[in-house]
Structure 1
Amino acid sequence: MSLKNRSVLVTGGAGFIGSHLVDALVREGPENLVVVDNLYLGKDENLREARESCPSLSIYHQDVADYDAMQAIIEKEGTDVVFNLAVIPLPASLEEPAWTFRHNNDMVTTICELARKDAFETLIHFSSSEAYGTSIYAPMDENHPLNATTPYAASKAAGDLLIFSYCRTFGLDAALVRPFNNYGPRQNERSYAGVIPLTIKRILNGEAPVIHGDGRQTRDYLYVTDTARAAIDVYNTSATRNRVLNIASGKEVSIEHIIRFIARYMGCEKNIVYQPERPGDVRRHIANVFLAEDLIGFSPQVSFDDGLAQTIEWYRQHLALR
């Protein structure tokens, strides 16, 4: 299977992971490439490199939950494949839980219904490791129970179950990518920022780094370009259909280690400030990636420390230009 000469649409394509996926898709040579993003967190500037490489790239500032609008775009663009990354992020669910849950599932429902009605052929959907909740056993494989601890996580788990129900009931051609924690250039550093860009921004602003909780919480981080490449490989491999694949490094790192690495690399001498842990924060995450290794030959290409150094340098340059 190949994306060459296909018409590909990426929802959430102006976001962090989405824009890196668009960059990778450009290199696949699709006949048509389309981004749909309402810019809730995405930025048009994230697509600058893709626009330079693919001047024909079409961009729609549209809410994916709007069925009629999405149907019109897909029909106009002759879409064959949808990579679905549109999402309201976890921190928003701590402030507006009902809206976050409802909107995330409205977006998934829209995409499923359009696929059911043959508006496009194949769906590659981005799930989240948050759907697992805190690790019951480690490493966490795809059979780990879904034990969401935030409304966001519950919305992702519900979306996954909805897609699988459409696969079994209506024969959707779909596969799920379940990334663990991603990091790299372009990750949102504004509202709802992740720990890595938020820490870098604080230090650049002369502030002390912050840890919520004791810092012993662990995550499994993967450089964003490795995730983008894996998503394309999932599409290219028919054995992934009606399945979910963990995409991660398979290595565990503590939040404290990450903060101290960033502070040391950036020459920050301020003491870390410890604040109360965030509601619903998972305690431990580490992935079993054997299935991805078996089905798509997955192997991370960027080490954590190298990727973190590249990320810090990108933010230094990017934020200095503002």
Structure 2
Amino acid sequence: MKNKSVLITGGAGFIGSHLVDQLIYEQPEKITVVDNLFLGKDANLNQAIERYPNLKIYHNDISQIDQLKEIIINESVDIVFNLAVIPLPASLEKPAWTFSHNNDMSVSVCELAREDAFQTLIHFSSSEAYGTSICGPMDEKHPLNGVTPYAASKAACDLLVLSYCRTFGIDASIIRPFNNYGPRQNEGSYAGLIPITVNRILQGLPPVIFGDGKQTRDYLFVTDTARAAIDIYYNTNTRKEVLNIASGREYSIVSLVELISQYLGFSGTILNDSDRPGDVRRHIANIYKAEDMIGFKPKVSLEEGLRITVDWYKSYFQEKSKAVE
């Protein structure tokens, strides 16, 4: 990537900012972030800016194709990593808007790839596109049975990218991450289970589990996903393909909450609440394809990753509390 100009849509978000961190090691000529800050935060890029002062950041909505095209031309972009997304919880409140907006953003990058505005697209999918596991572990041929409008939008976006590959010959690969966790995961609106649980315990409140807690997820530390995305770019045999990126192991929600509680010294009662709408019952990935095509192997265990994540949130929430005081 040393002579390349790289653009990351959604680059101020959780996974996107970690991808920016990893891309800096590749020493590209330019790194550009486009993020409208629906979920992302400029603060997520503070470390990246320290290491890469020339990082360009645009606060645009990539569904506006003319704006995106202007940025791509101005920055002479060669590679686009597309992580821009409206998240799952938003689709429970604004289903039509979430579905259409996610598709509009993918249409923008696909159209610009078709017009040769840039060379290569690495598109981020989601394991939510599969829905609940019918036959696990779930490989890339598992039916796309997404439950929520968000899941449907991600499946539609994947099919869109593949259609542009097959019809127009764009140079694109699709990475389908399972449940990512780590520092900088959104703790405010649409927060994930781990930051919510850590925050509650630090406030002296008991953790809450929705449903019976026996739902399973395939958790992967965020830096493993970021590294895999870069490896997918380098391995051109992944073009026109979808690759699961996950640990290949499943953990119940209750076991995860218990691990966090144990690490934080919480020994009280864990509360149960009603099931969340659209919650999948089982997720576990088959990652043989990624192992074969890019030599993928997770480097961070759940225990190590949780320790790093919980320690980060402890510091983050403490600093946030001091700022309020």
Q: Following TM superposition, by how much is the alpha carbon of 1:270 offset from its aligned partner in structure 2, in angstroms? A: 2.8
Which one-letter code corresponds to 1:12 in the other structure?
Answer: G
Q: Percent identity?
A: 65
In the superposition, the TM-score normalised over structure 1's length comes to 0.99
Distance in structure 2 (CA, Å) of the matches to 1:73 and 1:40 = 19
Q: Equivalent residue for 1:120?
A: 118
Aligned length: 320
Structure 1 residues 118-175: Cα deviation after superposition (integer angstroms, max 9, x where no partner):
1100000000000000000010000000001000000000000001111111001000
What CA distance in whole angstroms lies between the structure 2 residues aligned with 1:158 and 1:22?
A: 26
Letter in 1 for 2:316: H
Counterpart residue number, 1:233: 231
1:237 maps to amino acid:
N
Please list, as runs of the form range in 1=range in 2, the aligned pairs for 1:91-240 lying within 5 A after superposition. 91-240=89-238
Tell me which residue corresponds to 1:285. Answer: 283
Aligned-partner Cα distance in 1 for 2:203–2:226: 31
Q: 2: CA distance between counterparts of 1:205 and 1:126?
A: 35
Q: Which residue of 2 aligns with 1:302?
A: 300
**In structure 2, distance between residues paired with 1:69 and 1:205:** 43
1:220 Cα shift? 0.2
Shift of 1:271: 1.1
Name the residue aligned to 1:8: 6
**Matched residue SS, 2:290:** helix
Unaligned runs of 5+ in 2: 321-325
| Equivalent AA in structure 2 for residue 147 of structure 1 | N
Structure 1: gaps (5+ residues) = none
Give distance in 2, aligned partners of 1:266 and 1:65: 42
Aligned partner of residue 57 in structure 2, secondary structure:
strand
Q: 1:262-301 CA distances to partner (integer Å, 9 max, x unpaired)?
A: 1111012331110011111100000000000001000000
2:317 is the alignment partner of 1:312: no
Secondary structure in 2 matching 1:190: coil
Amino acid at match of 1:8: V
Report the alpha carbon displacement of residue 67 of structure 1 after superposing the two structures with TM. Answer: 0.7
Hey, what's the Cα distance between the residues in 1 that align with 2:134 and 2:76? Answer: 44
Q: Secondary structure at the match of 2:258?
A: helix
RMSD over aligned Cα atoms: 0.6
The amino acid that maps onto 1:284 is R
